[in-house]
Structure 1
């Protein structure tokens, strides 16, 4: 391999280094000088200078500083696993240590109104709502990935329906649907997304296979008797919510 071929490779490497490096204004002046020579006479000299610049980029302290507010990957993964396991167990006492004071669940639009606030109490309300419908809840973890202040968990949720699953898909939290229990179990894939801040979960979102859950639980395709049970359950749940709102 010729000298200038090696030089071209080094120059390409240096461009990659410069593209991700963070320099002060004064340091950028020095870097631009390294990139300035273009004649054959200056090229051999650039080979050595480029190698030195790559070494400088690798060791520059600004490129090794971590965000002081960032959370170690191991802690972030532990928070994610704890969050879902707390939900599955229904462990309300463990909620406060797992989420921030302004925690928010982006999947709360079809849940009761007390789940739509912020902080630990909103998560507790979500847990109570889920456990009223499901028991034997368990998250099977397939993968947890962490990138900066974001984390994602790919899981399978296992559970059995033992009570009505009540949907509040309205701005005022009104009961819009209610699915009575058939006593069946289900297992569905889900992906949960999290934002981490100050050593706790600050935000949650999810992509869920609710269609598969509905099929496994016998909600769809709906049979005439099940439709009648749904209507009666919805009327009963609306009365229950109205009484609760009045007290």
Structure 2
């Protein structure tokens, strides 16, 4: 994506919208352009431990986590509005579930793994941002997680899919131990 920082708008709505769009294909430098060094993502409780830091590294880690599981990841922006430094962005996240999606505990341990279903999804999301110094400094969201799970066939879980989940979790834990 690589945008020249000189042409990046510091308008709060533009910054917030861009921070959503680069989740699909932005490089680390793109995140540095729009995410404040002190930024916090209030939605990273189930994400990899690498996303539980401040600043661009947090948001880039989240992007890589999503991209690893969902091929063709992209966002449709429907509405965005600001009230001072607070920005609300209504969007739809789209993609295809092509690799395991790993969820983590608060302690950073692997909790649940959803093996790939090959299904596509379009999940509505509302993202909320606080912008300071022309960059995102805080993020939280409301997502249609139930709709997401239904579209991907995670619920209602079949006995076969539950067995696949158990195998995927065991494999992810082995891989995590080997990488530690």
TM-score (norm 2): 0.91
Which entry has the higher C-alpha Rg, 1 or 2?
A: 1
TM-score (norm 1): 0.67
Query: Could you report, residue by residue, the CA deviation over 1:115-155 in whole angstroms, capped at 9, with x for unpaired residues?
Result: 01101111111111111111111211111010011000011
Cα gap change, 1:227 to 1:100, in 2 (>3 Å): same
Other-structure match for 2:143? 208
Higher relative helix content: 1
2:31 is aligned with 1:95: yes
Cα gap change, 1:151 to 1:103, in 2 (>3 Å): same
Kept in 2: contact 1:98–1:201 (CA 8 A)? yes
Kept in 1: contact 2:37–2:56 (CA 8 A)? yes
Kept in 1: contact 2:10–2:134 (CA 8 A)? no
Higher relative strand content: 2
Distance 1:243 1:204 in 2: 33
Matched residue count: 172
Q: Secondary structure at the match of 1:183?
A: coil
Q: RMSD of the alignment, in Å?
A: 1.4
Distance 2:152 2:39 in 1: 31
Other-structure match for 1:221? 156
Other-structure match for 1:85? 21
Runs of 4+ that moved beyond 2 A:
90-93
Q: Secondary structure at the match of 2:166?
A: helix
Other-structure match for 1:38? none
Aligned positions of 1:1-247 closer than 5 A: 75-168=11-104, 170-244=105-179, 246=180
Q: Secondary structure at the match of 2:73?
A: strand
Kept in 2: contact 1:86–1:92 (CA 8 A)? no
Instruction: Flag the structure with more relative contact order, 1 or 2, with Cα contacts below 8 A and sequence separation at least 6.
Output: 2
